[in-house]
Each structure stands twice: as C-alpha cells, then as structure tokens.
Amino acid sequence: MVGGSFVLRRELHEGWSPTDIYEIYETLITVRMNHGGVFTGLPGRRYVNGNVDFIDLVNTEGLSLHEFDKMVLALGYDRDEVKFYHFLIPQSDLDTGLRPLVNNQDVLNFLRYAPVSGPWNDQCIVDVRARTCSCRQWELTGIPCKHSVATNWNMAANGSDVVPESWVDNSYRLSVTP
C-alpha cells in the first residue's frame, strides 16, 4: 500500500515490475492470491479449479486482516460472502505448511515469512496489544525492546493514547514503601 492502496495484477508479467519500487520502499511486498478453487483431501493435498492473481505494493506496516478483506473485494468478491484465508509457509507443501489467517496474530505469523527488512536489516513486527516483537527480546526479558520503543514514539506522535509504563513487566517496577 503506497498511500493506502495496492495494485491488483491478473498476470505475473503484465507490463511492469514493482522491483524498483521495492528497492526504495522495503516494507512493500507482493501477495500471490489463489482464489475461487478448492482443496483436495489429505494426503497429497492440492488446490484445484482456482485463479491466481498478484497484489502488488502491499505495505507490511499496518497489515491486518481488514487489508486482506479489501484485497478480496478488489478481486470482485462480495463483501458478505463467506471467505476463508490461508497462507502457505515457503518451501512447504499443502499437507504440512498451510496456515489459517483468521485474526491479526495470524497476519503477524504470515509476516514472519515475508521478505522484509529495514535499511539495517533489522525491521521487526511489534504487536502492542500482545506486548510482543518479532525480535523476541520483549517476550524474553519483559522489557520493551528498541522496536517497541520506536513504535511507542510513533504512536504518540500520531495521536494515540500511549501508556508506556503499562508495557513493562511488573517485576521491573520500583516499589516505594513509606
């Protein structure tokens, strides 16, 4: 999403390549969307009778299940139609690597496999509600990592009510007794 939008392509080589843009905007990815088909049974699961489209310029920052809903609407599906989202772990087969996308925690799991890196190859995904970061330092120590601190500053600068003290594990709080 550049400026809050994405680009739908029907063919893999349809006139332009987003590669040059991706070199500048490192948080952008292309999502290959298989849709309209069905899965066969196990073992040897396959996806049959479906279509493949490519969604370019998808911004991994702020990616949520809602964004996937917008992508599916762009493909022409009805808003009220029941949809099930899944992703395939790279280099896995459909029997063992298929994962559901039903909530934003699943989207964070999806992003673990997205080829994204910041300018110093240290971009991480922060979930402020769950108090987690993909660098895992926050979960391991109970102290917010540098990525969560940067998120805190970004949220405060954009008008969010942020209480950073609530992000630190209680075991690190000072207690003063009179």
pLDDT recorded at residue 105: 87
Rounded-to-integer distance, Cα 28 and Cα 1, Å: 7
Rounded-to-integer distance, Cα 94 and Cα 24, Å: 33
Instruction: Indicate the residue type of 68.
Output: F
Rounded-to-integer distance, Cα 25 and Cα 2, Å: 9
Q: How far apart are the first and last CA of the chain?
A: 54
* Residue that has been written with the tokens 């660098």 in this structure: 135
Rounded-to-integer distance, Cα 90 and Cα 74, Å: 25
**Mean pLDDT score of the chain:** 78
pLDDT recorded at residue 48: 94
**pLDDT tens digits for 27-82?**
788 888 999 999 999 999 999 999 988 888 888 887 888 888 889 998 899 888 87
Strand bridging mode 51-59 / 28-35: antiparallel
Three-state DSSP class for residue 154: helix
In the predicted structure, residue 173 carries a pLDDT above the cut 70: no
Three-state DSSP class for residue 118: coil
What are the sequence ranges of the domains in the chain?
A: 1-119, 124-178
Q: What six digits make up the tokens of 54?
A: 């490519």
In the predicted structure, residue 2 carries a pLDDT above the cut 50: no
113 φ, ψ (degrees, to nearest 5)? -100, 0
